[in-house]
Each structure stands twice: as structure tokens, then as C-alpha cells.
Structure 1
Amino acid sequence: MWVAPDARGSGVAAELVDAVKSRGRDQGHECVYLDVAPENTRAAHFYMKQGFVFINEWEPLESPPYQGADHTLPSVELSRPRLCWPEACSAREKIASRKSAR
């Protein structure tokens, strides 16, 4: 999700997140997951205010395509942390992690 700079602080981002949560519930989903870039602390704090919590999961990402058309820059492994809503989903993740570790 991205909100234009001139619309930030207007409440539109919260409305978008609420719409996603509502649509997810309406379609029978119990949890909403999202990923946020580690350096995007503003977004991470925003999502936490919306009830999301960090879970012990990272989404692997491919190297960004802007590394150079001549491919002279080395490949970089990237990942970003995952969040979930509602908080009860984080407990499910912990249980699933323990079961898969056995």
C-alpha cells in the first residue's frame, strides 16, 4: 500500500487498512498478513497502531531490478519482516512454528 505524500496524515491510510481487514473477514479469512521494509519505520508504526503485530517470519525478496542493466552489481539477498492482524494470529504462528520444529 502506498499513499501519496500530500494525502498522508489525512486518515486515508487507516481507511484503506480497515477496508482490507473488512474484506478479508467478509471473505472468511481469519488473519491478514503484510510485509514492511525494515527501514520503513513510519509504516511499521502505522501498522502497529492499526493492530498488527510482528511475527517471527521474514519474506525473502529477490535483488531489486534497479541494480543496473549491465548486472555489474552483486546480487543481494533481501528480506522484510512480516506482520499479522489480529494479534491472535501471532499466537497461531508461534504454535505452527513449534509444531514444524519437532
Structure 2
Amino acid sequence: MWVSPALRGKGVAKSLLYEISTWAVNKGCECIKLAVTTSNEAAVGFYTSSGYLPTGPLEELGVGSALMVQPMVKRLGNTQ
């Protein structure tokens, strides 16, 4: 997810995560998975504070990339 710098801090990312979570629950999903670039401390903190937990080892963003991503997961508690 990317939010325009002009809109950061205005709840856009939080609203997007809420809508995605609502959609996933309605579809019967048990979890949401994502990968966040580890050098983006603000994004890592945002996802962590939103209930996402690190899962698995770090991965290259792309083949030969110096950037690493951390896979994360959020359990939705869906019992359908």
C-alpha cells in the first residue's frame, strides 16, 4: 500500500485496512497476509499496531534487491 505524502496522517491507510479487513471477513477469509519493506519503519510500526505479526524469514523485495521485506499476517478470527 502506498499513500500520497499529502494525505499521510489523515487516516487513509487505517481506512484502507478497515475496508480490506471487512471485505476479507465477508468473504470468509481467516487471515490477511502482506509483506512490508523493513527499511520503512513507519510502515512496519503501522502494520504492527494494526495487529499484523511478523511471520517467516525476511525476503528480498526482488531478485538481487538490497531491500528486504518482512512477511506479516493478521488473523481475522473468522469462524465461518
What is the rounded CA distance, in whole Å, between the counterparts of 2:24 and 2:69 in structure 1? 22
Give 1:21 deviation, angstroms: 0.8
Aligned-residue offset at 1:86: 2.3
**Quick one: structure 1 residues 5 and 81, their matched pair in 2 at CA, closer, same or farther if it must change by over 3 Å?**
same
Q: Extract unaligned runs of 5+ from structure 2.
A: none
Q: 2:73 aligns with which of 81, 84, 88?
A: 84
In structure 1, the partner of 2:62 is 62
Q: CA RMSD in A?
A: 2.0
Q: Quick one: distance in 1 between partners of 2:53 and 2:39?
A: 17
What is the SS of the residue equivalent to 2:56? strand
Q: Quick check: 1:44 aligned with 2:44?
A: yes
Deviating beyond 4 angstroms after TM superposition, the runs of 4 or more aligned structure 1 residues are none
TM-score of the superposed pair, with normalisation by structure 1: 0.65
How does the TM-score come out when normalised to structure 2?
A: 0.81
| Structure 1 segments unaligned to the other structure (5+ residues) | 64-75, 89-102
Work out the number of aligned pairs and report it.
Answer: 76
Aligned sequence identity (%): 29
Partner secondary structure for residue 25 of structure 1: helix
- One-letter amino acid of the structure 2 residue matched with residue 3 of structure 1: V
Match of 2:18 in 1: 18
Gap change, CA 1:10 and 1:60, over 3 Å in 2? same
Q: Give the residue type in structure 1 aligned to 2:12.
A: V
Could you say which structure has the higher helix fraction? 1
Quickly say closer, same or farther: Cα 1:48–1:87, change in 2 above 3 A: farther
Q: Which amino acid aligns with 2:39?
A: E
